[in-house]
Structure 1
Amino acid sequence: MVKAYGPMLHRHLLRMLQSSTDVDDVLQNTFVKAYRNLDKFRGDSKLSTWLYRIATNEALSWLRSRQRRGQRFLSEGHQDMAQRQLSADPYFDGDAAQLELQRAIATLPDKQRAVFVFRYFDDLPYREISEITGTSEGALKASYHLAVKKVEEKLKAYVQ
C-alpha cells in the first residue's frame, strides 16, 4: 500500500502542507491509521479515495492543531521556509512560476486548498472529492470557484 499510494499521497499532502517535514509526519500517520482501520474499509469506494480521505483529514487536523497552538501557518518565516523546502523536495519539479502558484495556493483557507489541489492537480471529479471530504458537490464547486479566483488574483499580482 505504501509503495503503490505513497508518492501520490505525498504529492497531495505537500501541496496542502507545503513542508516536506510535516508531510512525512502526516503521511506516516495516514498509513498507520489506514493499517489500523483496514478491516473497516468496506469497498464502497476505491482504496485510493479512502486513503485520500484519511490523508486529507490528517492534514486538516494537523493544520488546525497548529492554529490552536498559536502557530500561524502563513507567517513570513514559515512561508519562506516552506517554499525553500518545497523547491528542494524531490517530488517538486517546478520553476519560478510553479513556486508562485504554490505560494498562491498556500494563502487559501485549508478546505479551499484541499478542494483546489484535488481538482487542479489530481483532476478528481467532484463526486470523488465529495466522497473524500464528506461535502456536497455543490459546495465543492462553489469552494473551487472561489479558490480559483483567489489564486488568479495572486498570480496576476506576480505577473505585474
Structure 2
Amino acid sequence: MEDLIIEKIREEETRNYGFNLLVREYQERIYWHVRKMVIDHDDSNDLVQEIFVKVWHNLSKFREDAKLYTWIYRIATNECLNFLKKKKRRFFLPIHDLEGELTEKLISSVEPTGDEVQMKLQKALLKLPDKQRIVFNMKYYEDMKFKEIAEITGTSVGALKASYHHAVKKIEDFINPD
C-alpha cells in the first residue's frame, strides 16, 4: 500500500487521491500514537489534523530513503513533543502541574469498566519524561523495532534501548513500590 500511496502523491494529477489514501492508511495509528502522549481526545484530534496538514505541506520534501510511515511518525512525534512543551510553558505556574492535569483527563476519559492495572500503567507513563514515554509507547504498544524508532526519533538504537529500560524500571517501581 505504501508504494501505491507514494506513486500517487508523486504525480501532480493524482496527489489529492494519494493523500486521501495516506490519511486513510495512517490516521488511526497516528491518532492513537498522539492520544497516548496528550491523553485528551479533543487535543489529539486537533493535533492529528495539524499533523496531516503538515504532512500535506511537506510531501515534496519526503525523500524515499525512509519509509512513509516512519516519516509521518517523526512528524507526529515532534508535534506531540512541541504540543506538550507549549502546554507546560503556558501553565508554568506553581499551582498548575501538567502531569496532574493529564492524570485527571486520563481518569475522566476511562470507561467505567476500565481495567485497574491499565489505569495504573497509564498513570505510571505520565510520570515518565516525554521522550521516554514516546519510546515506551512505540515499543510496547505499537511493537515497533528499535531501528524503526531510531529512524523516527533520530536517536541511536543503543540510547533508545537504555531509555526503554529506564522507562520500564520506573514503571515497575511505580506499580510495585515495595
Specify the structure having the higher radius of gyration (Cα): 2
Q: Partner residue of 1:122?
A: 142
Residue 80 of structure 1 aligns with an amino acid whose one-letter code is: E
Which of 64, 83, 87 is the equivalent residue of 2:107? 83
- Cα deviations across residues 18-75 of structure 1 (Å, max 9, x unaligned)? 1112111111111000010011111111111111100000000001111111153212
Q: Partner residue of 1:97?
A: 117
Which of 60, 69, 74 is the equivalent residue of 1:39? 60
What is the deviation of 1:81? 2.2
What is the deviation of 1:108? 0.5
Unaligned runs of 5+ residues in structure 2 are 1-21
Q: Partner residue of 1:74?
A: 99
CA distance in 1, matches of 2:102, 2:127: 12
Distance 1:130 1:78, change over 3 A: closer
1:2 to 2:27 alignment: no
Whether contact under 8 Å (2:51, 2:75) holds in the other structure is: yes
RMSD of equivalent CA atoms: 1.7
Q: More deviation in 58-67 or 41-50?
A: 41-50
Q: Partner residue of 2:47?
A: 26
Distance 1:147 1:78, change over 3 A: closer
Residue 38 of structure 1 aligns with an amino acid whose one-letter code is: L
Higher relative contact order (CA 8 A, sep 6+): 1
Q: More deviation in 145-154 or 14-23?
A: 14-23
CA distance in 1, matches of 2:72, 2:114: 26
Unaligned runs of 5+ residues in structure 1 are none
Whether contact under 8 Å (1:66, 1:72) holds in the other structure is: no
User: Secondary structure at 1:64's aligned position in 2?
Assistant: helix
Q: Return structure 1 stretches of 4+ with deviation > 3 angstroms.
A: none
Distance 1:83 1:2, change over 3 A: farther
CA distance in 1, matches of 2:67, 2:166: 28
Aligned length: 152
Q: Sequence identity of aligned pairs in percent?
A: 45
Whether contact under 8 Å (1:30, 1:58) holds in the other structure is: yes
CA distance in 1, matches of 2:27, 2:119: 23
